[in-house]
């Protein structure tokens, strides 16, 4: 069962903040966040483990509530370079050898 991401799309002005959510119906061991620009490979952003909140790079951070099986990605003071599609990949086995990706959230940052 794939995780559900929301919103499906968001348009921001440079400098604005955004939150992208990822929720699963299964108990999760970890959530992996990736950003994909059009025509390119997904690029790893960060991993959230059970009980952990990890700060990534730039002004992007995330949280993971394992009781609710939810993760949120926070983009603060967005930059033009943040534009792309954000995918969460969930691991419900503990091995992370099979990530199940959500449908993605398309983020567009306008000047």
Partner 1 sequence: EPEVTQTPSHQVTQMGQEVILRCVPISNHLYFYWYRQILGQKVEFLVSFYNNEISEKSEIFDDQFSVERPDGSNFTLKIRSTKLEDSAMYFCASSNRAGNQPQHFGDGTRLSIL
- Regarding 44 and contact with partner 1 (CB under 8 A), the answer is yes
**Which of 9, 43, 77, 110 forms a contact with partner 1 (CB under 8 A)?**
43
Return the structure tokens found at 87.
């995918």
CA torsion, ordered 77, 82, 86, 88, to nearest 10 deg = -60
Per DSSP bridges, beta strands 60-65 and 70-75 are: antiparallel
Other beta carbons less than 10 A from residue 8's beta carbon:
9
Using the rule CB under 8 A, give the single segment among 17-25, 33-41, 62-70, 75-83 that binds partner 1: 33-41
Q: Does 102 bind partner 1 (CB under 8 A)?
A: yes
Q: Least distance from C-beta 44 to partner 1, angstroms?
A: 4
Residue 42 interacts with partner 1 (CB under 8 A)?
yes
Q: How far apart are the C-alpha atoms of 59 and 57, rounded to whole Å?
A: 6
Element (H, E) at 71: strand 70-75
Minimum distance from residue 16 beta carbon to partner 1 (Å): 26
| Residue 13 engages partner 1 in binding (rule: CB under 8 A) | no
Among 25, 55, 94, 110, contact with partner 1 (rule: CB under 8 A): 94
């Amino acid at each position: 069962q794939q995780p559900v991401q929301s919103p499906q799309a968001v348009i921001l002005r440079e400098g604005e903040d955004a939150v992208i959510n990822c929720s699963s119906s299964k108990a999760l061991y970890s959530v992996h966040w990736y950003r994909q620009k059009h025509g390119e490979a997904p690029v790893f952003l960060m991993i959230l483990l059970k009980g952990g909140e990890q700060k990534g790079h730039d002004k992007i951070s995330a949280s993971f509530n394992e009781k609710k099986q939810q993760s949120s990605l926070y983009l603060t003071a967005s930059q033009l370079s943040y534009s792309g599609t954000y995918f969460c990949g969930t691991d419900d086995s503990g091995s992370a050898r099979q990530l199940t990706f959500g449908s993605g959230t398309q983020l567009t940052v306008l000047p």
